[in-house]
């Protein structure tokens, strides 16, 4: 059976990672969460007082990029790879609202993007990979055999993200989460380097009213037809 590259792009909190994990597991593919890589660099910047609510020392971050090592290690129990920053598991730390509030600024930095895009392309050289993010189908894998673009209303995405953060025991308000979602949409869509956009040949999936099961089945059926067209 041939292996292909599957790129899943879209706005924040559209469930890209969830369906990408499901799809990779069902197909026996490798799953890569590119957004987690940007979150890990952001966490590094926060830990070293490079970025905060009021300031961002871009030049210092660039000068320290050689000290930022992002990797993935498979967790057999969870069934997917967890993110490590300089050898430390940061899977939970990178999912906080505070990281979310800073990650789009870090992702705007061209040298950060070049470093991570290079790593992502190396991960997908052998195909058989499902990767989700903002520029996978347009920049990382422009020749991917299958591309999806996930979308949903900002309100729907904020409700999902708010519920997720509450389950993580974070003290947040829905209003703050909605503001963060809308702010990230604007920054991601208007940045100069690799802005979030739908690839010309991507299949758009609006999952505002789709269950997780229906969403997965939709993408899986399409993937099967591309992998096995006859």
Is 37 within a domain?
yes
Q: What is the pLDDT of residues 154-178, one digit of tens each?
A: 999 999 999 999 998 888 999 999 9
Residue showing tokens 């389950």: 167
| DSSP SS3 for 114 | helix
Is 129 within a domain?
yes
Is 230 within a domain?
no
Is 103 within a domain?
yes
The response to whether 16 counts as a known ligand-binding position is yes
More confident residue, 19 or 73: 19
Is 229 within a domain?
no
The response to whether 80 counts as a known ligand-binding position is no
Q: What is the pLDDT of residues 94-153, one digit of tens each?
A: 999 999 999 999 999 999 999 999 999 998 888 999 999 999 999 999 999 999 999 999
Alpha-carbon span 75 to 84, nearest angstrom? 12
The response to whether 13 counts as a known ligand-binding position is yes
The response to whether 15 counts as a known ligand-binding position is yes
- For 188, the token pair is 């991601």
More confident residue, 191 or 56: 56
Provide mean pLDDT across the span 46-63: 96
The response to whether 12 counts as a known ligand-binding position is yes
The response to whether 10 counts as a known ligand-binding position is yes
Which pLDDT score, from 0 to 100, does residue 142 have?
Answer: 96
Is 118 within a domain?
yes
Range of the domain at 67: 5-221
The response to whether 17 counts as a known ligand-binding position is yes
Q: Quote the number of domains for the chain.
A: 1
Q: What residue ranges in 17-100 does DSSP mark as E strands? A: 30-33, 70-75, 80-85, 88-89
DSSP H stretches of helix in 69-173? 97-107, 110-123, 154-167
Is 205 within a domain?
yes
Is 104 within a domain?
yes
Reported as half-sphere exposure (CB side, CA atoms, 13 A), residue 121 has a value of: 14
CATH number at residue 162: 3.40.50.300
Provide mean pLDDT across the span 7-36: 92
Is 70 exceeded by the pLDDT of residue 79? no
The response to whether 218 counts as a known ligand-binding position is no
């Amino acid at each position: 059976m041939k292996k292909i590259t599957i790129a899943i792009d879209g706005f924040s909190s559209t469930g890209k990672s969830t369906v990408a994990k499901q799809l990779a597991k069902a197909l026996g593919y490798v799953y890569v969460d590119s957004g987690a890589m940007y979150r890990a660099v952001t966490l590094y910047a926060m830990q070293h007082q490079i970025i905060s609510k009021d300031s961002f020392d871009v030049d210092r971050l660039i000068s320290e990029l050689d000290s930022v090592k992002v990797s993935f290690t498979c967790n057999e129990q969870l069934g997917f790879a967890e993110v490590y920053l300089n050898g430390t598991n940061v899977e939970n730390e990178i999912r906080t609202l505070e990281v979310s509030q800073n990650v789009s600024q870090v992702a705007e930095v061209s040298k950060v993007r070049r470093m991570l895009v290079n790593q992502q392309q190396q991960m997908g050289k052998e195909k058989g990979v499902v990767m989700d993010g903002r520029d996978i189908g347009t920049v990382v894998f422009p020749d991917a055999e299958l591309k999806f673009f996930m979308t949903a209303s900002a309100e729907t995405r904020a409700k999902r993200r708010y519920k997720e953060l509450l389950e993580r025991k974070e003290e947040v308000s829905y209003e703050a989460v909605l503001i963060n979602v809308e702010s990230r949409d604007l920054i991601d869509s208007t940045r100069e380097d690799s802005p979030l956009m739908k690839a010309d040949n991507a299949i758009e999936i609006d999952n505002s009213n789709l269950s997780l099961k229906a969403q997965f089945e939709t993408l899986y059926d399409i993937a099967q037809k591309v992998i096995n067209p006859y």
